[in-house]
Structure 1
Amino acid sequence: MTSSETLPDRLRKLKLWLQRRWNRISREARHLDETAVQTAYARWAPYYDMVFRAPLYWGRHAAVKRINALEGHVLEAGIGTGMSLPHYGKHLTVTGIDLSEAMLERARIRSADLGNIAGLICMDAGNLSFPDDHFDITVAMYVMPVVPDPARVLRELERVTKPGGTVILVNHFSAAHGPRAMVERGLKRYADRLGWNPEFPKSRVLRHTSMVLEDEETLSPFGLFTLMSFRKAGGTPGD
């Protein structure tokens, strides 16, 4: 800053500097969060199916059952090791993405003999490279509490879904009170090691979308998981 600059000029320069600094810090924080997720799931990959196949069965089964009643091109964000892939109907075309290459390697082995898989791609669900209005159905199972910016992921899922298309989420949502809420708050400090956020209220999804929530289903085991089915405004499914 020079001595000839007016106070408004200096304030504008200061504001611009602060904005640039904040953007840099935000980018670095996102990178660190993504690195933590990748590291956690690289550790989990060899054991993921063995540990999570049973507890995640009901949510996966419920989501795939709904999707199989529809038509078109499906995007599954957070495909992981691809446990859902063999269960999608042959009438569907399926693309899967995941941030963990270690998980995708196992998904590719699982899908080697399937003829309806368009691709399994290493990609950030919060920064999808697909064009707008590209998929008939998008689904994210057990993803939102894992990602650094759930609102950003939801916006991306909505963006790439065709008008009139379906967006399905399956998640564990944290309790507002009671013993379970206490446990979830206690586990939050270990989120980086776990690879997911145990304290994740439903409002973190609902307040960040203009889509219509068409259905909500509580799932086993013990009602720990919830399936939400949204409809994107405009058009009709399959357009």
Structure 2
Amino acid sequence: MAGMNNSPEHQSRVYRHWAPIYDRVYRGLLRDGHRTTATLAAAAGPDILEVGVGTGLVLPHYPAHCRVTGIDLSEHMIAKAREKVERKGFAHVKALRVMNAQHLDFADDSFDAVCLPFVVTLIPEPERALDECARVLRPGGEIIIASKLGDGRGIQGRIEEAVAPLVHKVGWSSAFRISRIGEWARHRGDFDLLEIRPVFPNGFFKVIRLKQRARS
């Protein structure tokens, strides 16, 4: 939505306030999306990058054989995630780092899967971030995106636009379109959109699988 502040500074301020209560508010609401994201990422391979790890709500859902690296723009959210990893002894979590999704500090071809659970609508330049995800992804790997993704049509589309300023106050966007991700994949030409899976509640959230084609 035009005029909406989605800067890193805005997101950092939002999540500084949300970090202490985020788990209580969102654990149940997002559990199906988190579980689905982790399961699909693990099926693509053991080396996983989670962009927007937040307080670490997805971390319990990865199988033990995985090697998960999590990043987040918010130092406060990363601090909560580190506490959780230490408290619960998540050996499959290899690193948690403060990092901007648009400038990933990883080598090319580092991960089998990159997942973005409920974060893509918050990134100021999501296509740039997806390009970075593609860069660090190994050939044949997958990008898994979970989010509130609308199609902009009919009554639901009008509702999404109407509530966008409200949900923005808690760091979300309701007006981000599925078509935007599809257009990114088509423009690149090296990704296939394999699946759009509705998840709880009643398909309000969706999980998208994008597979990078093997290089010739």
Indicate if the aligned counterparts of 1:218 and 1:224 stay in contact, CA closer than 8 A: yes
Q: Which of the pair has more CA radius of gyration?
A: 1
Indicate if the aligned counterparts of 2:151 and 2:179 stay in contact, CA closer than 8 A: no
| SS of the residue 1:131 aligns to | coil
Deviation at 1:32, TM superposition (A): 7.3
Whether 2:192 is the aligned partner of 1:218: answer no
Supply the AA of the counterpart residue of 2:118. Answer: Y
Q: Show the 5 A alignment for 1:40-189.
A: 40-112=14-86, 113-189=89-165
Distance across 1 between alignment mates of 2:10 and 2:50: 22
Distance across 1 between alignment mates of 2:165 and 2:193: 31
Aligned-residue sequence identity (percent) comes to 31
Distance across 2 between alignment mates of 1:190 and 1:151: 24
Distance across 1 between alignment mates of 2:110 and 2:52: 18
Deviation at 1:193, TM superposition (A): 2.0
TM-align CA RMSD: 2.0
**In the superposition, relative to structure 1, how do residues 125 and 234 fare at CA in structure 2: closer, same or farther (>3 Å)?**
same
Aligned length: 207
Match of 2:207 in 1: 227
| SS of the residue 2:102 aligns to | coil
Deviation at 1:106, TM superposition (A): 0.7
Match of 2:182 in 1: 206
| SS of the residue 1:41 aligns to | helix
Q: Which runs of 5+ in 1 are unaligned?
A: 1-28
Deviation at 1:90, TM superposition (A): 1.3
Give the structure-2-normalised TM-score: 0.89
Deviation at 1:66, TM superposition (A): 2.0
| SS of the residue 2:131 aligns to | helix
Indicate if the aligned counterparts of 1:97 and 1:120 stay in contact, CA closer than 8 A: yes
